[in-house]
Amino acid sequence: MEAQLQELAQAIIDGQRKTAVELTNKLLEAGATPKTILEKGLIAGMNVVGVRFKGGEYFVPEVLVSARSMKACMEILKPLLAQGNVESRGTVVLGTVSGDLHDIGKNLVSMMAEGAGLRVIDLGVDVTADKFVQAAKEHDADVIAMSALLTTTMIYIPKVIDALAEESLRDKVKIIVGGAPVTQEWATSIGADGYAPDAASAVDVLLDLVQQRRASR
Ligand code: B12
């Protein structure tokens, strides 16, 4: 079974969706738990993809095919994981902010975060402050993640932070921001808790923020 789990991780790394799905089904038939398949197959594979992306060895298209292969396997595992009550590593409410329709980068962050075992509530694009606030409450979010690709829409991010403060949620939830025009400096200046320049680093920061949030509760 160990060998098949490694094969599954490799299929994710290589972005071979069909093989990955077949292996997931075979592993389930052989009695592997959904949790083991998730951790030792899918997450293990996506970890390698993340390292290669950060190292400049993989580019967006490679990451996308790997992430899509992972998603196809997750569709099989999701209902089983829900039955087994496997705890997610944290909850992230994610969206591209109001006025902005760019979602390729956000979707990458979403897929990589799911690949790392986080529960992602993806609100899509053109997301208003109200929607972020409502989703944070409804899902007891650990982190709110906001994407902006336009200089004209990144300035909406502080408005969401203000709206969270008005609802007395600012101390209860961590905030991470990203997107091409966003920088670490700017993120710090608006009082965000985290920033990442790409989807793979975003996962590291997200996991760190979840831990910080849970430690402070
Ligand atoms: C594709 C694209 C579009 C597509 C979007 C399709 C889609 N479904 O997303 C379409 C054609 C719809 C589009 C429209 C427009 N676009 Co456009 N678009 C782009 C383009 C070419 C690529 C963006 C992209 O997907 N990059 C690839 C992804 C993987 O990278 P990324 O988004 O940066 O994401 C990475 C990181 O930033 C980070 N990240 C992203 N989000 C988050 C979130 C968090 C929390 C974290 C931690 C990290 C993170 O991780 C990601 C993965 O590593 C860029 C140019 C460019 N090179 O960036 C212009 C660009 C962003 N667009 C631009 C413009 C001006 C527009 C329009 C206004 C054009 C127009 N006149 O109509 C409209 C606006 C529409 C709107 N209201 O949003 C400008 C923005 C200029 C500016 N400084 O504001 C750019 C820079 C092009 C340019 N050079 O002029 N666009």
One domain, residues 146 and 78: no
Cα(179) to ligand 1 centroid in Å equals: 8
One domain, residues 186 and 149: yes
Contact predicate 198/167, CB 8 Å: no
One domain, residues 34 and 111: no
One domain, residues 80 and 184: no
One domain, residues 163 and 185: yes
With a 6 Å cutoff on the Cβ, whether 120 touches ligand 1 is no
Q: Which of 5-9, 22-26, 115-119, 132-136 has the lowest mean pLDDT?
A: 115-119
Neighbour order of strands in the sheet with 143-147: 119-122, 91-96, 143-147, 174-178, 194-195
Question: Ligand 1, atom 39: nearest CA belongs to which residue?
Answer: 179
Question: Ligand 1, atom 18: nearest CA belongs to which residue?
Answer: 102
One domain, residues 46 and 106: no
One domain, residues 8 and 69: yes
One domain, residues 19 and 65: yes
One domain, residues 115 and 96: yes
One domain, residues 112 and 41: no
Which DSSP category does 197 fall into?
Answer: S
Residue 103 CA: nearest ligand 1 atom is: 9
Cα(101) to ligand 1 centroid in Å equals: 8
**Domain end position, chosen among 39, 54, 84:** 84
Q: Tell me the average pLDDT across 164-176.
A: 96
DSSP 9-48: HHHHHTT-HHHHHHHHHHHHHTT--HHHIIIIIIIHHHHH
**Among 187, 85, 197, 89, CA closest to 142:** 89
Residue 145 CA: nearest ligand 1 atom is: 45
With a 6 Å cutoff on the Cβ, whether 202 touches ligand 1 is yes
CB atoms within 10 A of CB 29: 8
Give the integer Cα–Cα distance in Å for 196 and 176: 8
Give the integer Cα–Cα distance in Å for 198 and 214: 24
What CATH number is attached to the domain comprising 80? 1.10.1240.10
Mutate to test the pocket of ligand 1, among 102, 128, 174, 175 (most ligand atoms within 8 A of CB): 102
- pLDDT at residue 2 is higher than 80: yes
Q: Which token pair is 107?
A: 């979707």
**Parent domain of 138:** 91-215
One domain, residues 52 and 127: no
One domain, residues 129 and 43: no
Contact predicate 177/106, CB 8 Å: no
Question: Ligand 1, atom 30: nearest CA belongs to which residue?
Answer: 105
With a 6 Å cutoff on the Cβ, whether 103 touches ligand 1 is yes
**Domain end position, chosen among 69, 84, 99:** 84
Q: How do residues 193-213 score in pLDDT, each as one tens digit? A: 999 998 889 999 999 999 999
Residue 206 CA: nearest ligand 1 atom is: 47
Residue 177 CA: nearest ligand 1 atom is: 45
Q: Tell me the average pLDDT across 4-20.
A: 97
Q: How do residues 60-98 score in pLDDT, each as one tens digit? A: 999 999 999 998 998 898 888 767 656 778 999 999 999
Domain count, the chain: 2
Residue 53 CA: nearest ligand 1 atom is: 53
